Structure 1
Amino acid sequence: MSLDSDVIVDRRRLRRKLTFWRTIAVLVAVVAIVAGGLYATRSGTQTSSGAIARIKIEGLIQSNNERIEALERLEKSSAAAVIVQINSPGGTVAGSEQLYDALVRLKAKKPMIVMVEGVAASGAYIAALASDQIVARQTSMVGSIGVLVQFPVLSGLMKTVGVRLEEVKSSPLKAAPNGIDEPSPEARAALEALIKDNYTWFRGLVQNRRAMDEAQIEKVADGRVFTGRQAIGLKLIDQVGDEKTAVAWLVAEKKIKSDLPVRDYKLSPKLGDLTFLRAATSITLNAVGLSSIARQVEQGGFAQAIDGMGLDGMLALWRPVSLN
């Protein structure tokens, strides 16, 4: 009986040791991945030295101070020129304006051209307007000049489930619309005034930057998107082509050396988008037995879900209906 007790005690002791060393191994792996990732991210911003820097604007555009700081570092770098590669449906109006302003400052320091890879709609087109030259593929989607605010009206659902909202507020237009009740005529009028003001700014920016007269801006400023082939005839872009077309323009118009390589200049990504952090998180989750969540993190599903939320404020965004 005593022998069995000793065996059980030894097994428990061994299990505790294994758990301890397993935890240490996981922590060492996480630290190594994070350190390596930070080094890669830091050094990645220097890869454009003596070359044409390629920066990528992808996904939803929101206010992002880290990205602005990275663009300011690029201003001071030894990059010979910049290609801004855009593939984005837009985002918030404020975030798009912030990015536009940063790209205008960058253009003052470096020869710059925008290349539309897939989509440059709404807020992403605002960003594209910072460049004096815009190139897009024939099948790229460009435009969507407009502003919107979307909110649900849940009054019917709340009535069905027997819930109602009580409000005490300082004035009728405070926190209106609230997404619960139908907006009052006054609230709708106030919201429409905000949208009209931002739309007037967006429309004016397009007209100014693309040198359009009233007849030309009227054709493109109704919220539609256009293909690259359509956009060139409408003065929304300057050339149909690809990155080689963009490089050729820099060589011809900005006297950039024709043999310079094009290298990625990594803008500081969001914490949740860092590949090395996703790997570290995945290892940790697997170690504690949460393998299903780990798989989701590896595939970027969690980050993508977060990206689709939290778009506060007025939107300059193109959201096509999915047919899948």
Structure 2
Amino acid sequence: MFSRRHPYLFFILLMTAMVTGSSMLMRLGTAMTKSEVQGESIGVVELYGPIMDSSQILEDIRKFRDNEKIRAIVLRVDSPGGGVGPSQEIYRALQMARKEKPVIASFGSVAASGGYYVAAATDGIMANAGTVTGSIGVILGYTNFRELAERIGLQSVVIKSGEHKDMASPVKDLSSEDRDILQALVDRMHRQFVRDVATGRDMEENTVATLADGRIYAGEEAMELGLVDRLGNFEDALSWAAEKAGIDPDKWVAVYPERERSWLWDIIDGGAQSLVNAMDRKMGFTGGYLWTPGMQQGL
């Protein structure tokens, strides 16, 4: 095996691949297949990690929405949530997409808070029995180290244009008025969350509100409560999307958004085998073998 013959080179290549990021290495676009050309494709949009920036997700959704060869979209979610604004932007984009074609959400290990928020905009949600989901709520928090700053002799100097411009500063106490303002902000965002879940899921707002105290649910319980539609894995979600799109269950293909190759990937992809062959010749190995980083192109 390559790893045994060249352990140091294997380690360097492995670490390089990890630095570039698994999403870059594993999702470099899918080659056009006969099935895709015939319009039997399902676009897969991946939402992994904290939701801090929506730009790439929005672009992926838009491309699949506007591509007539993409018959349905599956949103794969493995996220604990994130920013309110980006989550709302993705929610809106999915609402628009489902007007054009079926959109199904597939939950991985966790789809909570903002991760659940965005999925509520789809035509249906599929989770694993043990998926951690729910956490419908809004939180705002910070650490106050005023006393610590005073003990070590640090003094905060603030010049502000308004009374509340420095509310929630970590070096001043939170006044009761500031607390009321921040609580009102959180309450408003929470009402937006409940409203959007109720709209997307076609549920009564009062029903959603009773579930929206911030607690998390296992996927199985979430289905019993109406927050999830079916239990199953990613492939089950793809099959469900195919069913909704009227695609032959034996002919669909999953397509991922194209990504620009990084120069680091080109070095690995184009140069690794040449380097391995050269080392083998120098060390006296004969007989060929191929080592390339894996690339998933669809299911």
Regarding TM over 0.5, the answer is: yes
Please state whether the residue corresponding to 1:197 is helix, strand or coil.
helix
Letter in 2 for 1:54: V
Shift of 1:254: 3.5
Give 5+ residue unaligned stretches, structure 1: 1-32, 269-273, 283-324
Give 5+ residue unaligned stretches, structure 2: 1-19, 269-299
Which residue of 2 is the match for residue 238 of structure 1? 229
Percent identity at matched positions?
28
Q: Which has the larger radius of gyration?
A: 1
- Which of the numbers 199, 202, 217 marks the counterpart of 1:226? 217
Shift of 1:123: 0.6
Distance in structure 2 (CA, Å) of the matches to 1:280 and 1:164:
52
Alpha carbons of structure 1 residues 261 and 118: separation in structure 2 relative to 1, 3 Å: same
Alpha carbons of structure 1 residues 275 and 186: separation in structure 2 relative to 1, 3 Å: farther
1:208 counterpart = 2:199? yes
**Aligned pairs, number:** 240
- Which of the numbers 107, 112, 117 marks the counterpart of 1:116? 107
Does the 8 A contact of 1:52 with 1:260 survive in 2? Answer: no
Which residue of 1 is the match for residue 280 of structure 2? none
Alpha carbons of structure 1 residues 117 and 45: separation in structure 2 relative to 1, 3 Å: farther
Structure having the higher helix fraction is: 1
1:255 counterpart = 2:243? no
Please state whether the residue corresponding to 1:91 is helix, strand or coil.
coil
Shift of 1:215: 5.5
1:96 counterpart = 2:87? yes
Q: Deviations over 1:104-154 (max 9, x none)?
A: 222222221111111110011111011121000001011100111121101
1:276 counterpart = 2:262? yes
Alpha carbons of structure 1 residues 88 and 267: separation in structure 2 relative to 1, 3 Å: farther
1:128 counterpart = 2:114? no
Which residue of 1 is the match for residue 54 of structure 2? 64
Distance in structure 1 (CA, Å) of the matches to 2:32 and 2:62:
13
Alpha carbons of structure 1 residues 191 and 101: separation in structure 2 relative to 1, 3 Å: same
Bigger shift: residues 243-252 or 164-173: 243-252
Aligned Cα RMSD in Å? 2.8
What TM-score comes out, normalization by structure 2 length? 0.72
Alpha carbons of structure 1 residues 221 and 58: separation in structure 2 relative to 1, 3 Å: same
1:139 counterpart = 2:130? yes
Q: Deviations over 1:134-178 (max 9, x none)?
A: 000001011100111121101011011011112222221112121
Alpha carbons of structure 1 residues 66 and 86: separation in structure 2 relative to 1, 3 Å: closer
Shift of 1:182: 1.5
Bigger shift: residues 52-61 or 246-255: 246-255
